Amino acid sequence: MFSAKKALKANSANILTLTNLSFGGIAILAIINDQPKLSVIFIFLAMLCDRFDGACARKFGVESELGKQLDSLCDLVTFGIAPAVLIYSIALNELGQWGVFFSIFYMGCGAFRLARFNVTPAKGFFIGVPIPVAACLATFSSLFVDSLSPIVYMVIMCFLGLSMVSTVKLRKI
């Protein structure tokens, strides 16, 4: 017999992952609607979901290759696209084509980072800065838009992109 409790347990990690995606989507829509501060809130809420989806999967013994792929796809939207669009909308748009380039550069580096993560066996450390960490720093920097120039944001996005694709090893916490 099918139990609702069992189904919820089995899908809890994926529900958190899809909630992460939902918050990322809302963040992007907030940016489109000229509400960048609201997008910051939703990106940070997504980070909470992302923080717990893997732990939830491990706790309930429902880790799967599908869940890993789903998590990366959702992370690309929430932590790759949303922060890049946020920083573009508040600062990089003033740099014309260079602003577009560095926004796309950050997104591409995030996609590469996630793909590399999915094909590299877990050994207790990350290779390159995880995309949620880069997104946290990019999103947090948006709070200083009145104090930082578009050139500084260009450097931030370049640095964060390169840090994600770097081969530096960081211990998992």
Decide which of 139 and 62 is more confident: 139
Task: Report the CATH fold assignment for 4-171.
Answer: Four Helix Bundle (Hemerythrin (Met), subunit A) (1.20.120)
Average model confidence (pLDDT) for the chain? 94
Confidence of residue 107 (pLDDT cuts 50, 70, 90): very high
**pLDDT above 90 (res 172):** no
Read off the pLDDT of residues 154-163 as tens digits, 9 standing for 90 and up: 999 999 999 9
Please give the Cα distance from 6 to 9 (Å, whole number).
Answer: 5
User: E strand or H helix at 170, and its extent?
Assistant: strand 169-171
Instruction: Tabulate helix, strand, coil % of the chain (nearest 5).
Output: 80, 5, 15
Decide which of 134 and 65 is more confident: 134
Q: In terms of pTM, does the model score above 0.85?
A: yes
Q: CA Rg, the chain, in Å?
A: 17
Q: Tell me how far CA of residue 92 lies from CA of 32, 102, 116, 120, in angstroms.
A: 15, 8, 27, 33
Query: Of the candidates 43, 22, 57, which has an alpha carbon nearest to the alpha carbon of residue 136?
Result: 43
Q: What is the pLDDT of residue 2?
A: 60
Please give the Cα distance from 75 to 7 (Å, whole number).
Answer: 24
Please give the Cα distance from 24 to 47 (Å, whole number).
Answer: 9
Task: Name the token pair of 7.
Answer: 């189904």
Q: What is the pLDDT of residue 1?
A: 47
- DSSP letter string over 98-123? HHHHHHHHHHHHHHHHHHHHHHS---
Please give the Cα distance from 120 to 122 (Å, whole number).
Answer: 6
* Amino acid making up residue 27: A
